[in-house]
Each structure stands twice: as structure tokens, then as C-alpha cells.
Amino acid sequence: MSQLENIALVRWAMRHPRLAAWLVLSAGMVILLVVEAWSVGLSLGNWIALVTATILVAGACVWIISWEDRDEEEPTPTAAPEQPE
């Protein structure tokens, strides 16, 4: 593992895991979009809209998945017992 940490791209991904996940997921989704829609005959404006929407959906997916990470990082709040006045 220490050899991987010497690679600049891996170091960056370790410092910014959500952004790295967004980039990787976006790339994969855009590649699949292009492969599947290549022969449809879309105009340039359609391609731009589809790629933009795909990138935003990938970002939303990473954001939603990160909600679970946040639950593990934050301790659960405990309610203080009420004090009689």
C-alpha cells in the first residue's frame, strides 16, 4: 500500500475521496452513455445536455452515498436528562 501512496493521483484521491469518486463514476457513466447512444443521431446540443445531466446525476449519487459516511463520523447526540426546576 505504501507504494501506491507515492503516486500523485492516488495521494490526491485519498485526500479528496468524494471528488475522486465523482470523477470516476462520471467517467464511467459518460462512457456508457456514449457507447449506448452513439448510433441514435443526437445533435450537439442533445449530447451536451445528456453529458451534463449524467455528470450531475453521478455527483448526486456520490453525495447521497456520503450521507452514510457522515453518520459514522458523527457521534449520536444523547439527550440530557431534564432537570426539575
pLDDT at 79: 62
pTM for the full model? Answer: 0.72
Q: Is 79 exposed, middle or buried (0-12, 13-18, 19+ CB in 10 A)?
A: exposed
pLDDT of residue 50: 97
pLDDT in tens, 25-84: 999 999 999 999 999 999 999 999 999 999 999 999 999 998 887 666 666 566 666 776
The three three-digit cell numbers of residue 11, written as one number: 495521494
> Per residue in 10-26, pLDDT tens?
888 888 899 999 999 99
